Structure 1
Amino acid sequence: MNAFEIHGGKPLKGAIIPQGAKNEALQVLSAVLLTPEEVTISNVPDIKDVNKLIELLGDLGVQVTRTSKDTYTFQAKDIDLDYFRSTEFKSKGSGLRGSIMIVGPLLARFGKAAIPKPGGDKIGRRRLDTHFLGFEKLGARFHYDPDAHFFNVDATNLTGTYILMDEASVTGTANVVMAAVLAKGTTTIYNAACEPYLQQLCKMLNRMGAKISGIGSNLLTIEGVDYLGGTEHRMLPDMIEIGSFIGLAAMTESEITIKDVHYHELGIIPSVFAKLGVQFELRGDDIYIPSQKNYEIDTFIDGSILTVADAPWPGFTPDLLSIVLVMATQAKGNVLIHQKMFESRLFFVDKLIDMGAQIILCDPHRATVIGLNKAFKLRGIEMTSPDIRAGVSLLIAALSAQGKSIIHNIEQIERGYQDIESRLQALGADIRRVETNPSLH
């Protein structure tokens, strides 16, 4: 098993370029199934979840050409619909949560699809109801085999309709949008997710010939068309990586420039980090973070403890709450972290407590962090990464801690962060990959 060995407590310095957005990739890559023409996508992150989806597209019959490290051309001219029945598809599809995203485009173009119950992070229940309720509204029929953990969906005649989403799910909205673009008539989606990644998908589909209006709002109107053509698309930088690097700079007293961040697409992310006391300045489209010895958490106007909670866009993304939590351990002041969406995502705090952090886990959704103002440095320990975002939070903690840390299960981190080891080394981090036999931590 691979692990990271980290010797922390050293300030870092330099510039880093965020990778393409993982969560956008899973949507726009699936959209290539909507057309037999060529689609070229650039700024594709070289990470396991994305590479698995690209491999799955190839297995379905999509011609995949990698023209550079971050650019691919796809042509879904001859799709093998019998592949759905194969044991290989059941195995590969179940190992990738993003595989659910191929269902919408396949329904739209071919009238049928199948998918094994997807895997992914162990961060609590992640319902698929929103996807399938939306497909049903458009006229699809689906059957779930609980013994085989397999969904079969039939949609030979999708028809536009009014859909009120039961939750503002990003992937659910994206999947229903992709199903609706080729449906007969007009589809209206209310309570739609409006994240930048979904906006990117809608703009890409419109360039392919779709007719989607209301982009950026929670009310989308989609006029069905008969055919979509090819296009070129460049993905946004990953806002979760950008937030992770801001947290890293603050924790390690580092001077870091994050390049080409598409600042106007970051929403309230920069202001949340500012409330935690992080100083930064915008230089062109780069975020420059000076070295800070200390950072102080704001309070609310009445002096009460600040709460940082996740919410649908334009609220604060849940993927950065673990970064905010680990940052707060070394801040001056206190903060309540409220993770509303996933009931298991805060369980990694026991590792931080072992490192010396002062955290009260109130329940599966809330944790109170008592900032130590760097008066007491975290200490290095041996630990295991439970999921992508918690794994990077523990990595940041280890880089700021005194002594040596070992992080096992780094495959979880590498599902979401490209070349993280070499990119951190370029900033001066003392991190290396080692072979270990993980004990129970």
Structure 2
Amino acid sequence: MSSFEVRGGKKLRGEIVPQGAKNEALQIISAVLLTPEPVTVSNIPDILDVNLLIELLMELGVKVQRPSRDTCIFQADDVDVDFLSSEDFRKKSGRLRGSVMIAGPMLSRFRKAYIPKPGGDKIGRRRLDTHIIGFEKLGARFEFDDQHHFFQLVAPQLTGTYMLLDEPSVTGTANIVMAAVMAKGTTTIYNAACEPYLQQLCKMLNRMGAKISGVGSNLLIIEGVDYLGGTEHRMLPDMIEVGSFIGMAAMTQSEITIKNAGIAHLGMIPDKFQQLGIKMEFRGDDIFIPEQDHYEINTYLDGGILTIADHPWPGLTPDLLSIVIVVATQAVGSVLVHQKMFESRLFFTDKLIDMGAQIILCDPHRATVIGLGRRNQLRGITMSSPDIRAGQALLIAALSAEGKSTIQNIEQIDRGYQYIDERLRQLGADIKRV
């Protein structure tokens, strides 16, 4: 098992390019199962979760050419549907939360799917109800295999219908959309997720011949078609990386330019970091963060303490709240961070407290951060990464801390951030993989 050794307190400088969007990649790559024709996908992040999904598709019989590390040509013209019920599939798909995304395309095209018990991050309960209920409304039947912890779905015929989702789940909406594109009749999905990832998926499916309207809103209307063809698709820059790099620049008092940041697709991410007092300039599609000695958290107009919470798009993504917390530790002022979606995502704050941060964990969903304004620099410690986003937050803390930090279980970071140590070294960070 690998670790990062980080000697912090160094100012960074230079340009960094965000990878392709991880959460988009898991949906887009699953969607190649909807057609027997070639689909070319570019700007693919070279990370563990995405590579595991590509390997899983290859085991299913999908032909994959990789002319470069960020581009794949997929062709699903000889899919081995029986592999879904094998022990190999159960083991491999159980390692990866994103494997749930192949259920919608498999139901749509082959009328059969298996869903493993969710793998991935240990950040709290991650239910599959939205996916299963949506499939049922389209006409699928499911059985739960208690022995292997698997859902088996069959659908001799998928028929369009109206559905009101109980939550605007991004993966749930994407899975239902992929199941509905070749259903008979019209499917209407209200309270649909409308994140850029989902918009990208819908635009790609429309280029393949699907008929999806309402893209970008929470009301999607899908007219079923008989066949989908091949296409080309390019991933957006990863908004979570962009937010992480904004926070990293402020924490380390660095001058950094984030190149090709996809500013039009960031929603209120820049606004939330500006509320923490971080200055930035938008130069075309680049974000320039100047060196800042101090940054001060805004208050409300009546002087009340700022609250930053996650919301469905266009609200702030929950994936960035770990970064917000660590950045706030060195700000001037206080902020209440409210993580509504996952009940275990704030537990990593104990490591920040060990580093010298002043954080009150109010309950599993809320933490109050008292910014020290750099009066007391964080100190390096040995710690373990509990999940992808907390791992990146701890890495940012280590880069700003005094002395040496050791971050264990960095496979969690590798699941979501490609070559992160190499890219940080190019900015001047003292980080090595051990």
Q: TM-score, normalised by structure 2?
A: 1.00
- Whole-Å separation in 2 of the counterparts to 1:188 and 1:109: 19
Asked if 2 retains the 8 angstrom alpha-carbon contact of 1:38 and 1:73, the reply is: yes
CA distance in 2 between partners of 1:39 and 1:161 (Å): 29
Task: Tell me the residue number matched to 2:90.
Answer: 90
Query: Is 1:343 matched with 2:343?
Result: yes
Map of 1:311 onto structure 2? 311
SS of structure 1 residue aligned to 2:418: coil
**2:7 aligned residue:** 7
- Distance in 1, matches of 2:383 and 2:236, equals 32
Rounded Cα–Cα distance in structure 2 between residues aligned with 1:114 and 1:169: 19
Structure 1 unmatched ranges of 5 or more: 435-441
Give secondary structure in 1 for the equivalent of 2:372: coil
Matches within 5 A, 1:354-373: 354-373=354-373
Say whether residues 1:392 and 2:392 are aligned partners: yes
1:23 is aligned to 2:23: yes
Residue matched to 1:438:
none
Map 1:10-409 → 2, pairs under 5 A: 10-409=10-409
Letter in 2 for 1:17: V
| Displacement after TM superposition at 1:116 (Å) | 2.0
C-alpha contact (below 8 Å) 1:110/1:156 kept by paired residues: no
Alpha-carbon distance, 1:238 to partner: 0.2
After TM superposition, give the deviation of residue 94 of structure 1 in Å.
0.4
Q: Which string of whole-angstrom CA distances, capped at 9 and with x for unpartnered residues, describes residues 166-199 of structure 1?
A: 1000000000000000000000000000000000
**1:296 and 1:139 mapped to 2: Cα distance?**
54
In structure 2, the partner of 1:437 is none
Report if the CA contact (8 A) 1:379-1:403 is conserved: yes
Work out the number of aligned pairs and report it. 434
TM superposition shift of 1:269 = 0.3
Q: Give the aligned residue type for 1:292.
A: Q
Whether the aligned pair in 1 keeps the contact of 2:118 and 2:126 (CA below 8 Å) is: no
Which amino acid in structure 1 is aligned with residue 410 of structure 2? I
For the residue of structure 2 that corresponds to 1:337, the secondary structure is: strand
Partner of 1:439: none
Q: Which runs of 5+ in 2 are unaligned?
A: none
Q: Deviations 1:5-34 (Å, cap 9, x if unpaired)? A: 000001000000000000000000000000
Deviation at 1:114, TM superposition (A): 1.2
Which whole-Å CA distance do the structure 1 matches of 2:109 and 2:89 have between them? 19
Letter aligned with residue 325 of structure 1: I
C-alpha RMSD over aligned residues: 0.5
The one-letter code of the counterpart of 2:395 is: L
Tell me how far apart the structure 2 counterparts of residues 201 and 194 of structure 1 sit (CA, whole Å): 11
1 CA distance for matches of 2:176 and 2:317? 21
1:118 offset after TM fit, Å? 2.6
Contact 1:105 1:175 in 2 (8 A): yes
1:84–1:115 CA contact under 8 A, matched in 2? no
One-letter amino acid matched to 1:109: R
Amino acid at match of 1:279: K
**1:258 alignment partner AA:** I
> Where does structure 1 differ by over 3 angstroms across 4 or more consecutive aligned residues?
none
TM (norm. structure 1) is 0.98
The whole-number CA distance in structure 2 between the counterparts of 1:322 and 1:182 is: 39
Describe the SS at the equivalent of 1:124. Answer: coil
Matches of 1:83 and 1:109, distance apart in 2: 15
Task: Check whether the contact 1:4–1:406 (CA below 8 A) recurs between aligned residues.
Answer: yes
Measured in 2, the distance between the counterparts of 1:321 and 1:117 equals 26
**Residues 282-325 of structure 1: per-residue CA shift (max 9 Å, x gap):** 01100000000000000011100000000000000000000000
1:333 match: secondary structure: strand
State the Cα deviation string for residues 386-405 of structure 1 (Å, max 9, x = none). Answer: 00000000000000000000
CA distance in 2, matches of 1:312, 1:116: 25
Q: Which amino acid aligns with 2:145?
A: D
> 1:46–1:70: 8 Å Cα contact kept in structure 2?
yes
Query: C-alpha separation between the residues in 1 aligned to 2:269 and 2:85?
Result: 43
1:194, 1:217 within 8 Å by CA — same for their partners in 2? yes
Question: Aligned partners of 1:5, 1:348: CA distance in 2, in Å?
Answer: 19
For the residue of structure 2 that corresponds to 1:323, the secondary structure is helix
AA at the equivalent of 1:23: N
Please give the per-residue CA displacement for 1:142-179, whole angstroms capped at 9, x wherever unaligned. Answer: 11112210110001100000010010000000000000
Identical pairs, percent: 74
The answer to whether the 8 Å contact 1:361/1:367 transfers is yes
CA drift at 1:87 = 1.3
Cα shift readout 1:23-57 (whole Å, capped 9, x = no counterpart): 00000000000000000000000000000000000
Whole-angstrom distance in 1 between the partners of 2:6 and 2:166: 44
